[in-house]
Structure 1
Amino acid sequence: MSINMSSKVIYTYGDTIKVTEDIEGAIDEDKSKGIRGWIWDRNKPYKPLEIELVVNDEVIAQTCADIFDINLAEQEIGNGKHAFILRAKSWPDYPLPVQLSIRIRGTSHILATIEVQTLADLEGIAEIAPIGHVDEIIEGELRGWAYDQANPSTPALVDIIIDGEIVESLDCSSYRKDLELGGYRDGYAGFSFPLPISLLDGKQHTISVCHSGTKRQLPNGAMLFGLTKETELIKFISSLARTVKEFQTELTTELTTVEQRLLERHEALLAIQRDNMERELQVLRALLIERNDQNNSIASASENSSETTKRRNVKKATESDRLSQ
């Protein structure tokens, strides 16, 4: 957000803006509670000026600069009753970016112009009803939707705030049939945020959803989570239990498959081992049979040789006896 100013002298509210030779004023950089400032006419020090907030030639707010401020009185700016707070009660349906003008009513004199780029720049300046809703916590997810009326073609941004800290900024671009039927960005305006497991610590936590960069909460955008949210806690735990059960089922199935494959492989290896052992036994049997046949042949040959020798010896003895007679 930028502010255009002319010649300057430092005062309480910031830099003094010379509107005309006789009219001057200033505005505060902090606009969280409205556009605050002061303005007066030197020629009419006791007559407050009326000012208005203008956008595209449309007056969206007006007020009288007649609030007393001790700082102005100390600076001898009239009687000190020249301060103002300017805030629009509603915002017209103008696309951003846009320029706001702070103008002296009934004239063309501009005190300052303000460039508004996003809805965050309008925070405190104009009341903009947040369009959207935080639905509920479903299976551990915070779900809802949001729509940026100033930039309808762009997904709205929301901040998820837990215990006062922004933990996530989300694009609202998820499709939902009900949003399409409602005419919000063809249905692409939803969001979901998985709640961190750290919230299950037994303590109470605050959760809020705001349009990004602002403090404007979505409808139903503030809730407590913890001991007072047993239902959400039960749902969250149930969701975790289902997830664990599904994982266990998948793991059991996977282990059963692996076990079956291992058994099949084991059986195959055993079959191969049995075949190898059977072949080795057959070879050993053949060797044993061959060795036994060889031994039998040797024994038979030895018996035949012994018998022949015995007959020869008997024959020699008989011949010797005969010759001796």
Structure 2
Amino acid sequence: MFFLMRGNILSRALSAAASLARGPECQGHLEEIRGVRLRGWAWRPSRPDEKLVVEFISAKRRIGEATAALFRPDLKQAGIGDGSHGFEFELPRDLLDGRERVIHARFKHSGVELDHSPRLLRPSCLGALDEPAGAALSGWAWDPYHPEAAQEIEIEVDGRVESVLTASEMRPDLRQAGIGDGRHGFRFDLPLRLLDGRLHEVRARVASSGFELDHSPRQFQLAFEGCLDGVFEGEVHG
């Protein structure tokens, strides 16, 4: 009985100590794994100007760290200092080997884990929606666990599906970066009706799973420029 009570007291004491370290001293939250990125926030209420460093562990191996210094309006609104306590971390490519991984996030200075750590990394597609260029949108998508498969990409503008494309265009930059054989790009030419000078929002996601690509949504504001000079000998000039 004595040993049982002693064990219970010790367990409660350790639990309380961990709670204190995570609570009043430092607070943080590992929010999600989206694509190849981890996202969350961390801060020390007693030192609101300090930027904490969060380190990441997988299979007892340190895989990297991030400084929680990104500004996020939602954090500011929630009273998390001035809001500049967010972090993002891109997972190393050697973890994308088709196996599930458990990812831990902890305060570097204390080793105490953030709330909602660890999280499970499951196989999923990689991809990104590039910055709009001219009257066209482009990007890429690739499933590292099925590297030969071309992904179907759904393009949505202002809540309306405009097109479903196959990400199969060759892009040398993808091949150089190790994204399969490089044939995983896509391009979408914007309809003229969207070149109206108004602000529009575009989203790109994998049609089969709903997985939204990195940097989606994006906004664009473009106007059609041109004029009709006339018709000469049956030819239109402008």
* TM-score grouping bracket, smaller chain normalisation: 0.3 to 0.5
Which protein has the bigger helix share? 1
User: What's the TM-score, normalizing by structure 1?
Assistant: 0.37
Larger Cα Rg: Structure 1 or Structure 2? 1
Higher relative contact order by CA 8 Å / sep ≥ 6: 1 or 2? 2
Which protein has the bigger strand share? 2
User: What's the TM-score, normalizing by structure 2?
Assistant: 0.46
